[in-house]
Amino acid sequence: MRLSGSTALITGGGKRLGRATALALASEGASVVVHYQKSEEAAEQCADAARRLGVKAWTIRADLADAEACEGLLDGACEQAGPIDILVNNASIFPRNTLLDMTLRDVAENVQVNAMAPFLLSRSLAAQRRGGAIVNILDTRVVHYDRVHAAYHLSKRMLLTLTRMMALEFAPLVRVNAVAPGLILPPPGEDESYLQKMAGSVPLQRIGSEEEITAAIIFLLRSEFITGQVIFVDGGFHMKGSVYGL
């Protein structure tokens, strides 16, 4: 797949991995639509940075916790930018809770933002009937258990299953893959020392970088005979069988 001349929608594109992804795609010649909910200034700054790389860029607001807003997000992006070729489902929420204290509302909110929003957006892209590629952002712990983010963990496991289901249902026009990051960025409220303390738990004995995540995303977008796959960019952490939080 040629990235130059294509148009990508990146959810949560104003900050962190979303911003890195938007600018990596812009560096490859793709125009970008930067989605945000609250971080309008960051999204506009990301779009400006993309334009300086020589591509077109737009911003669009939508609350992914609102199913109706999700249903209309891709259409809104198309109104600004034309048909969308690439969708990167990056946005997520990451609340702290366990099976002992999470509520049904916690589960519903996490499932809506972290699983159903990517599904609704992906289905809208497939409905264009013109081909395209989707990359979902998972989490290295999706194959194990993150007990202190239980509702989040459930929702990401759901997105893993949806990735495989959509890869079959949307073929042959649309490819659907995923990237599962490991220790890349500290969670909200933590700093770099949080990552450094955990680096020893990684087989490769180091933390990763945003560039390593975006390289995996671009690889999947370019690889036209790959669908339904997950690339773990985690230094081998997913093979350890650990339970985070015990």
152 is catalytic: yes
Among the listed residues 224, 217, 117, 123, the one whose alpha carbon sits nearest the alpha carbon of residue 170: 123
CA distance linking residue 22 with residue 39, whole number of Å? 15
Q: What are the residues whose beta carbons fall under 8 Å from the beta carbon of 63, sequence distance 6 or more?
A: 37, 69
CA distance linking residue 145 with residue 143, whole number of Å? 7
CA distance linking residue 238 with residue 175, whole number of Å? 24
CA distance linking residue 211 with residue 213, whole number of Å? 5
- The active-site residue, picked from 36, 152, 194, 244, is 152
In one letter, which amino acid is 143?
V
Burial class (CB in 10 A: 0-12, 13-18, 19+), 225: exposed
Catalytic residues: 152
